[in-house]
Structure 1
Amino acid sequence: MKAVRYILPLLILVFLSSALCAQQIVNFEYDLAGNRVLRYLDTKKSTEAEVDSLFKAGTITDKITGDNLIRVYPNPTYGIINVEFMEIIEGQTVYFITDQNGRQVMTGKTNSLSNTIDITHQSRGVYYLVIKAPEIYQVYKIIKQ
């Protein structure tokens, strides 16, 4: 009987504390290429009890930059890689391609919004395309058939 006297208040305390916790829902938005471009953290109050103004319900938005500025296709490729920039990038933009062992097999500069890279002379396998600009550093895994 003594055990029931202690367990019942403990269960009520656990139930009430879980009811007061905020629930969070994470939502994502993707562009047409499948890249995540926006992340929402949506917090909702489950009760009217508020501890502090820091815990008010709202939405926190995190804009992911860089991923949606560059489009690389086709992948897998037979040797021709198209690199398109969605907007003009300030400063010099360079690229280099490395193989699976980390050896640099090609390097160059991008001069326009639409660029073509030819790797037909390379053997089949996995390569990494690195695009560097003053505020961008993107790595793409390229499969050459």
Structure 2
Amino acid sequence: MKKNITLILFIALFSSASAQILTRNENWPNASWTVSGVYTPAALVFNPTVDNKFKYDAALAIPLGGAATIFIESPVFSLKPAFDGGEKAFRMDVFLSFQTLAANVLFFEYWNADSGTWVLPPDGTAPAATQGSYTNCTNTLNDISLDFSTFSTNQLLNFRYRFGINDAGGQIAGFCMNSPVLNSFSCMPPTNLTVTNIGTSNATLDWTSSGTNFEIEYGLQGFTLGTGMFQSTNTHPAGIAGLNAGATYDFYVRDNCSNSQAVKSAWAGPQSFTTVSLGLIEQTLKGFKLYPNPTKGIISMESEKALNEVKIFNLAGQELVNVKPNKLNTSIDLSSLSSGFYFLKVSTDEDSGTYKILKE
């Protein structure tokens, strides 16, 4: 019901969506719909049971600006085929226009067959705003979606929904809406989580997904979801910062398929990584050369002073190699190491240097 902040609005096409198992075009006029409430009949300019639109014009109400309540309700239909096929949410395209002078006058609700009540989702109402032109039904697209992944069999089999106007008086000028079209879809979690560019306090997170909106949660290894650091992003790779040096972290990511709070994938993860220890910050040694970098195996070193010790560490700060060449030039074979970044630390009698190297 809201432009850009409706129950659930998709700014882009829904992500990670499979073939649509449930496709439902309400095809107004549709006699299986019902209209109820207390209102001036003349103000209901278009009735979706007999017209191809739903239009209400408060200027035709008697008394002018008087109170009105109208509900237009779908017939019962089943969400279970979509649910059984792995599609646990639906998207509804609704072209509408309105002018409201108070919030919550327009709303969307769905039927909870277990409790026998209509349910108003958190974002199921429209703000005090103007969208399009209700007088000539110049309607613009709003996309509503609903996650039914936790519905019972009874709720799935006996699903219906409705749109409503609840005007206490003088709160709406008018409303016009075309016949809605509903499609089910799946919302799959991202895959192939990776971490690169790991530093002492930062890292770059990435994953595979066709989505466009994501939520990241990260924290020290073993943290409980809901207690970590939270970050939203509409792009990936995504950088995070403010980490502790030499600490191991987990990160999770999920697809926000509705660009709102109601249709989200399961969390993917955890993917673990360890930040660089403070002792492995890069610093140069005067008169020292290192090549080739990146390397596929052999890495060579030249120094103006004899190299007393050469160490190689992984990004977690673990020592992997320790040699004592005691000469100006030396080489080390890294072919046994996995591809990735490492730190090389060289020491002379007078000084030391630390270098980041890449094994391809």
TM-score by length of 2: 0.21
More helix by share: 1
Which structure's CA Rg is the greater one? 2
